[in-house]
Chain A
Amino acid sequence: MIFFLMRRLLQAVAVMFVISVIGFAVQGGLGDPVPQMLGPTATDAESAALRHSLGLDRPLWMQYLHFAGNAVKLNFGDSYFFHEPALDVIARYLPATLELVAASAVITLLLSVPMGIFCAIRPRSWLSRGLMGLSLIGISVPIFLTAMVLIQLFSIGVQVTLFPMDTGWGQWLNQLLSIDGGMPAYGRGNPIHVWGVWYTNFASWQGLLYLLLPALSLAFVMLPLFVRLIHAEMVEVLESDYVKYARARGLRPSRIYFLHALKNTLLPVVTLGGVQIGTLVAYTLLTETVFQWPGAGLMFLDAIERADMPLVVAYLMVVGLMFVVTNTLVDLLYRVLNPRVTLSGRSA
């Protein structure tokens, strides 16, 4: 166990190193932050002075060493734009993103597990055929399209005028098919302070309302994949000897499905789920842009535009750390679920 954690720590350091190198390597491609910071009226002398004070006149590898030395002390330097430590900036923006990710992970889990199980247990029902078909389409639809469709449907609303308005039934049908919209689709609304430290959307109806559309569209990234995965695993498990044996012992179907089969089904789902939480964080870039959700993804895109190097690299490091941490947690959880696995410091 201790060996396992130590090995994980070493891996984390290696991953962090690679990420930071890549972050620095693309620096040249991002452009020059100095004109951004000083504005168009700055003189050459002012520019040179700023460049020197930021350390930008030194060669890249020296900048990197300087950065790495500070990074070990959790100091990623000051953001060029905000003029405060990059980590502080991220700490301000990250909670909004994490709330978004958490909400959509919960939505994905709550929908995909019942759907996947249902499709496996009742393969011939029209509902499971429909769900399986939709999931195939869902996998191929990009998130910005889902997001825009959701905004059109539930925020702007749809007025159906397909049926003749002069007849009673036509009006009735039109009204039935129309959607009022009105769901918030821009920003976070007014999150509430909880315990004076936590600034959250979860604690009020209005906050949840603002969270719903972004979280839904983010959830649709993973949902179809999970439904299909759970379905495929469940179908396979239901064919296994131990499920047949459970039936032969006269156990209730609910116990067979939700304990005997589901527990075995969840093994690969947990593995994939852990990796996908990282991917969800990545997809917040798009979701936050479409919904103008003031989270770390939006901040990151702004930082790239401003060539705000410390902030960009710090963000990459934080996201990388999240990947490593979630994957480690998943491995630990996997051991709880699967007694055949023992964690060792040796081979993977």
Chain B
Amino acid sequence: MALLEVEHLDVRFPLRHGEIRAVRDVSFALDRGERLGIVGESGAGKSVLAFSLLRLLSRPGRIVRGQVRFEGRELTQLSDRQLRRVRGNRVAMIFQDPLTTLNPVLTIGQQMIESLKAHRRISSRRARSVALHKLRQVQISSPEQRLAQYPHQLSGGLCQRVVIAIALLLDPDIIIADEPTTALDVTIQAEIIALLKQLCEKHNVSLIVISHDLGVIGRLTQRLLVMYAGRIVEQGPTREIINDAQHPYTQGLINALPQMALPRQPLAQIPGTMPSLSQVPGGCAFHPRCRYRFTPQGLPRQDCRERIPEAVASGESRVACHWVRELIATLPIEEETT
């Protein structure tokens, strides 16, 4: 049994006029010690997915359908009190902007110690020494001094290290990191990524990283989910997807990486923009932007416009695309290998 299993998860934000369906029929599993990436453009529903796992959605968002099973326990059914014992304790979170994540009027020490005391019967003195230990683990210099400091006295990178230390405080099973490096300087990004990876490996912690940056995901994760307009369009081993993406959207994302550009050539782009989550086109949500929406004969593919593609296996990945399905169907040799 996987550590975390998400099945057919549906998250909606009912509004006065219509509703936003931010996460649609999402299923995936996470093993102990596995590092999973979720990638996609802004507005693809990645963060909503991450927050819905611990039911931390802001109003009026709610889980309409689906299951989130953690160690076999159904999180969507837990009482608030039971869920509180999971939050921060078994499943910890890292937010995007470390400078707004930590409470500005409480010291680092206060916030670390309260986290420990929320879940353990522990003396303040003991909690303090655990906090110091974790601060050393994330390679923060003079940790005693940091405990007495306020978040504004620390740099962004240092704050994010503190947040990582807080995430590790209670030795969780899973850390969910929502864009952990987006708000940081490029030079610091690499350090934080290396630190996260090393600590997760060392403590055998599973990691879910949300990012729009394939570079971050590529260095950090073993498996990858690609989201578009609330759905998973492709999932599989990170290396395989980056080297040989199947879904036209994933291909577009990878081709748009600066590393992929030829010298003196403009960066590749995916034409058009991500649809608003309240007005997603019918059929395959990506089809208006997809270059394979026409058959080689130049006719529009009927399926792309009318039917939501089901995921099919391709290599070790699963891809939700009519074009890929056709491709596989016409290449019987490749189908045998899957």
Distance A260 CA – B86 CA, assembled complex (angstroms): 20
Whether, in the assembled complex, B89 has its beta carbon less than 8 Å from a beta carbon of chain A, the answer is yes
Contact assessment for A244 and B150 in the assembled complex, using a CB-CB cutoff below 8 Å: no
Contact assessment for B58 and A248 in the assembled complex, using a CB-CB cutoff below 8 Å: no
Knowing A244-B56, A244-B58, the reply to whether A249 touches B115 (Cβ < 8 A) is: yes
Contact assessment for A239 and B105 in the assembled complex, using a CB-CB cutoff below 8 Å: no
Contact assessment for B56 and A242 in the assembled complex, using a CB-CB cutoff below 8 Å: no
A324-342 residues at the B interface, CB under 8 angstroms? 337-340
Contact assessment for A250 and B104 in the assembled complex, using a CB-CB cutoff below 8 Å: no
Whether, in the assembled complex, B114 has its beta carbon less than 8 Å from a beta carbon of chain A, the answer is yes
Contact assessment for B166 and A249 in the assembled complex, using a CB-CB cutoff below 8 Å: yes
B118 proximity list for chain A (CB < 8 A): 249-252, 255
Distance A213 CA – B115 CA, assembled complex (angstroms): 46
Q: Quick check: which of B93-101, B225-233, B287-295 contacts chain A, the rest being far away?
A: B93-101
Whether, in the assembled complex, A246 has its beta carbon less than 8 Å from a beta carbon of chain B, the answer is yes
Distance (Å) between the CB of B138 and the closest chain A CB? 16
Contact assessment for B84 and A250 in the assembled complex, using a CB-CB cutoff below 8 Å: yes
Distance (Å) between the CB of A146 and the closest chain B CB? 35
B74-101 residues at the A interface, CB under 8 angstroms? 84-89, 92-93, 95, 97, 100-101
Tier of interface size on chain B: 20 to 34
Contact assessment for A248 and B93 in the assembled complex, using a CB-CB cutoff below 8 Å: yes
Distance (Å) between the CB of A115 and the closest chain B CB? 22
Contact assessment for A250 and B87 in the assembled complex, using a CB-CB cutoff below 8 Å: yes
Knowing A246-B103, A252-B84, A339-B105, the reply to whether A241 touches B97 (Cβ < 8 A) is: yes
Closest to B55 in A: A247
Whether, in the assembled complex, B106 has its beta carbon less than 8 Å from a beta carbon of chain A, the answer is yes
Whether, in the assembled complex, B136 has its beta carbon less than 8 Å from a beta carbon of chain A, the answer is no
Closest to B83 in A: A250
Distance (Å) between the CB of A1 and the closest chain B CB? 18
Give the total number of A-B pairs whose CB atoms are below 8 A apart: 75
Contact assessment for A264 and B104 in the assembled complex, using a CB-CB cutoff below 8 Å: yes
B166 proximity list for chain A (CB < 8 A): 249
**SS class, residues of chain A in contact with chain B:** helix
B321 proximity list for chain A (CB < 8 A): none
Distance A108 CA – B45 CA, assembled complex (angstroms): 45
Distance (Å) between the CB of A111 and the closest chain B CB? 24
Closest to A337 in B: B105
Option from A242, A248, A259, A267 in Cβ contact (under 8 Å) with B100: A242
Contact assessment for A241 and B100 in the assembled complex, using a CB-CB cutoff below 8 Å: yes
B162-190 residues at the A interface, CB under 8 angstroms? 166
Knowing A242-B100, A245-B95, the reply to whether A250 touches B105 (Cβ < 8 A) is: no
Distance A244 CA – B101 CA, assembled complex (angstroms): 8
Contact assessment for A245 and B102 in the assembled complex, using a CB-CB cutoff below 8 Å: yes
A338 proximity list for chain B (CB < 8 A): 104-105
Option from A245, A247, A267, A340 in Cβ contact (under 8 Å) with B152: A340
Distance A239 CA – B43 CA, assembled complex (angstroms): 19
Whether, in the assembled complex, B284 has its beta carbon less than 8 Å from a beta carbon of chain A, the answer is no
Knowing A263-B105, A263-B106, A264-B105, the reply to whether A247 touches B87 (Cβ < 8 A) is: yes
Knowing A241-B95, A339-B150, A339-B152, the reply to whether A248 touches B103 (Cβ < 8 A) is: no
Whether, in the assembled complex, B54 has its beta carbon less than 8 Å from a beta carbon of chain A, the answer is yes
Distance A339 CA – B152 CA, assembled complex (angstroms): 9
Distance (Å) between the CB of B54 and the closest chain A CB? 6
Whether, in the assembled complex, B32 has its beta carbon less than 8 Å from a beta carbon of chain A, the answer is no
Whether, in the assembled complex, B119 has its beta carbon less than 8 Å from a beta carbon of chain A, the answer is yes
30 A-B residue pairings within 8 Å (CB atoms): A241-B97, A241-B101, A242-B100, A242-B104, A244-B58, A245-B93, A245-B95, A245-B101, A245-B102, A245-B103, A246-B103, A247-B87, A248-B54, A248-B87, A248-B92, A249-B87, A249-B92, A249-B166, A250-B86, A250-B88, A250-B118, A250-B119, A252-B84, A259-B106, A260-B106, A264-B103, A264-B104, A267-B105, A339-B104, A339-B152
Residues of B in contact with A (beta carbons under 8 Å apart):
54, 56, 58, 84-89, 92-93, 95, 97, 100-107, 114-115, 118-119, 150, 152, 166
